[in-house]
Amino acid sequence: MTDQVFVRGLALHAYHGVMPHEAKVGQTFKLDLTLDIDLKPASRSDKLADTVGYDQVVDVASKSFCAKRYRLVEAAAGAVADAVLARFDKVSAVRVTIHKLHAPIAATFEDVGVTILRTRNG
């Protein structure tokens, strides 16, 4: 499938990380979500019921990402992907990228994070 709905740069404050100060102070993460979905029905009907609403995607992702503290962003990404697939039957796959903007690394870097892909059948 080549049709997609996406949300990029969703900024969320959470307490994920291995370091003690990450659990205490937290930090801002940015999430990118790409949902594979057949948009043919929506493109023909012009009805929201035939797609997924961006606001609903943001709500599901935000709640699942911030619901608990994860040591690894890999686990947080998995929780978001699972929540999206559970909530939206029309979505066949979801790609979640988490950018850890303030990773405790003794280096100058542009971006670090993880990307996971979860499919409904896998």
> Do 33 and 10 meet the contact criterion of CB atoms below 8 Å apart?
yes
What is the reported pLDDT for 2?
82
Pairing of strands 113-119, 4-14: unpaired
Helices (H), the chain: 20-25, 40-45, 54-66, 73-87
Give 98's strand partners: 31, 114
Domains and CATH numbers, the chain: 4-119 (3.30.1130.10)
Q: Which backbone phi and psi does 7 adopt, to 5 degrees?
A: -130, 125
Percentage with pLDDT > 90 across the chain:
80
What is the reported pLDDT for 122?
66
What is the reported pLDDT for 87?
98
What is the reported pLDDT for 1?
60
| Reported pTM | 0.93
Q: Which residues are catalytic?
A: 100
Q: Which of 87, 98, 95 is nearest to 16 (CA)?
A: 98
Q: What is the mean pLDDT of residues 18-29?
A: 89
What is the reported pLDDT for 104?
82
66-121 per-position pLDDT tens digit: 999 999 999 999 999 999 999 999 999 999 999 998 888 888 888 899 999 999 98
